Amino acid sequence: MKMFRIKGGIHPDERKDLAAGKAIETVPLPSLLRIPLQQHIGAPAVTVVEKGDEVKKGQVLASARGPVSAAIHAPTSGRISAIGRFVAPHPSGLPGQTITMRPDGKDEWGELPAPIEDPFAVEPDVIAERVAASGIVGMGGATFPSAVKLGLRNRNKLETLVINAAECEPYLTCDDRMMRERSEAVIDGIRILRHALGVERAIIAIEGNKPEALAALKAVCSANQFKDVLIARVPTRYPMGSEKHLVQTLTGKETPARALTADIGVVVHNVATCYAIREAVRFGRPLISRIVTVSGGAMKRTGNFEVPIGTPISHLIDHCDGFNKEPDRLLLGGPMMGQPIASTRTSIVKGSNGVLALCPDETPARQTMPCIRCASCVSACPCGLTPFEMAGHIRKEELDAAVKIGLLDCIACGSCAWVCPASIPLVQYFNYAKGKLTAQQRAKHKQEETKRLTQFREERMERQKRAKQEAMARMKAEREAKKKAEAEKKRAKQETIGA
């Protein structure tokens, strides 16, 4: 298959060998599961259970709110012990709405939706509905609700489904292991997804550093003679797993700025999402667990684990026998785009693909130096931006100038900061600026809305005043009419007396 070159990118030390050889292991249930209601992009889910309820495995705990949201299900059977705010798996460490559940140890399945016997015979909408009901979100880390992506076929003319199995982040091996060990199921999931999107072909994109996974999937395809699934070996280069760059590598087409890949006829799904969709379609099982890579130089034991959603990170670390030395950095996700873990009491959520405990020699702390305009960041940027220039503007609070030269097209992949010889925290500048812009927009929106409220209030006051005046005028008129009538009556009486 012909490949196209993308601009920029880096070759960080992969360190996948730390966990790539370890088979997927299940983790014993923790004594408490803490399940955040916001595990996806969009509106948080709404709880449908109450404190004290006994729930079965797979039962809906919270349902989706609005078009972009995802339902949340019970990862095991047990009792809801609290619904309230708890520190969220978020770099800020701020609290978010969380359901706390105490497993009863029986792990009993509740009533599940009936399996779809032949997914290729049903309408694509039936599959989309099942995916929505199962709370499936993009499991590569972006956590966008998958059902919304399936609905794209009604809006765009789609040609190709690309399965993102690049797994370009160093250390992470969860997708690799899934493809090696569950290759039949993965291929089946991809074919169901292909049918659900109504496209002719699916391309699985795997980076060249995963030959075993590549061979395993190829073996399944050739054994069953599947003609609709192509397997492509893409070059190993970070950030190959960025969907726009992956599509460009495979098709040569560049996604326009701030558009979706669907606008050029391609939909990208993560390989783990395909597996989750297959579970939902073939067995009716919602998304209640995921595979997580635990790795890093500070871990005593590394590996790949199938973890129920809501498992505290500390439980997972304890299961791996803890740390062999004090970790310098604890990350949720990969080392390039992962977020720091504010507290190990937070949970594994649908988008958590890795827990990394890095020791100091893996995270060399370097002194930030002034920018010398060497432009290493410009050649590394896969989006063709000028990171040093944007950071310079942001440092002087000139956010609009940074937007003008493409801040909003930045995918925050971290390639620029990785190559920077002056160790300037470029991505933090960009994240700060993006957040600040959103905050400004929010403030502006609030100002407009409160202005509208003030106007409504003024109009209402005016209306009330007018109504009062009218009522007074009417009363006055009535009084006068009454007086007049009485006077008439009197006169008439007098006249009758007079006559």
- Residues making contact with other proteins (CB under 8 A): 38, 88, 90-92, 94-96, 368-370, 394-396, 424-425, 428-429, 431-432, 434-436, 438-440, 442-443, 446-447, 449-451, 453-457
Q: Which is nearer to other proteins, 97 or 173 (CB)?
A: 97
Q: How far is the CB of 27 from other proteins (least distance, A)?
A: 26
Q: Which is nearer to other proteins, 72 or 266 (CB)?
A: 72
- Is 410 annotated in a binding site? The answer is yes
Q: How far is the CB of 433 from other proteins (least distance, A)?
A: 8
CB neighbours (10 Å) of residue 407?
22
Query: What would the two tokens of residue 132 be?
Result: 């929505």
- Is 374 annotated in a binding site? The answer is yes
DSSP 262: G
Q: Which is nearer to other proteins, 186 or 394 (CB)?
A: 394
Q: How far is the CB of 425 from other proteins (least distance, A)?
A: 4
Instruction: Give the position of tokens 């709110």.
Output: 65
Q: Which is nearer to other proteins, 222 or 450 (CB)?
A: 450
Q: CA dihedral defined by 357, 359, 364, 367, rounded to 10 degrees?
A: 90
Q: Which residues contact 320 (CB under 8 A, 6 or more apart)?
A: 294, 299, 300, 301, 302, 303
Q: How far is the CB of 91 from other proteins (least distance, A)?
A: 7
Q: How far is the CB of 34 from other proteins (least distance, A)?
A: 15
Q: How far is the CB of 386 from other proteins (least distance, A)?
A: 18
CB neighbours (10 Å) of residue 451?
10
Q: Which is nearer to other proteins, 85 or 476 (CB)?
A: 85
Q: Which is nearer to other proteins, 406 or 425 (CB)?
A: 425
- Is 383 annotated in a binding site? The answer is no
- Is 274 annotated in a binding site? The answer is no
Q: Are 61 and 49 in contact (CB under 8 A)?
A: yes
Q: Which is nearer to other proteins, 155 or 446 (CB)?
A: 446
Q: Which residues contact 435 (CB under 8 A, 6 or more apart)?
A: none
CA atoms 266, 408, 207, 348: torsion sign = negative
Instruction: State the Cα–Cα distance between residues 471 and 425, nearest whole angstrom.
Output: 69
Cα 39 to chain center, whole Å? 7
Instruction: Give the position of tokens 């439980």.
Output: 315
Q: Are 279 and 192 in contact (CB under 8 A)?
A: no
Q: Which is nearer to other proteins, 43 or 112 (CB)?
A: 43
- Is 377 annotated in a binding site? The answer is yes
* DSSP code per residue over 319-383: HTT-BSS--SEEEES-TTT-EE-S-TTSB--TT--EEEEE-TTTS------------HHHHH-TT
Q: How far is the CB of 300 from other proteins (least distance, A)?
A: 31
Q: Are 251 and 261 in contact (CB under 8 A)?
A: no
Instruction: State the Cα–Cα distance between residues 217 and 212, nearest whole angstrom.
Output: 9
At residue 38, what is the residue type? Answer: Q
Q: How far is the CB of 373 from other proteins (least distance, A)?
A: 14
- Is 174 annotated in a binding site? The answer is no
- Is 320 annotated in a binding site? The answer is no
Buried b (16+ CB within 10 A) or exposed e, 333-358: bbbbbbeebbeeebbbbbbbbbbbbb
At residue 56, what is the residue type? Answer: K
Q: Which is nearer to other proteins, 442 or 476 (CB)?
A: 442
Q: How far is the CB of 94 from other proteins (least distance, A)?
A: 5
Binding site residues, as ranges?
Answer: 371, 374, 377, 381, 410, 413, 416, 420
Binding site residues for [4Fe-4S] cluster, as ranges?
Answer: 371, 374, 377, 381, 410, 413, 416, 420
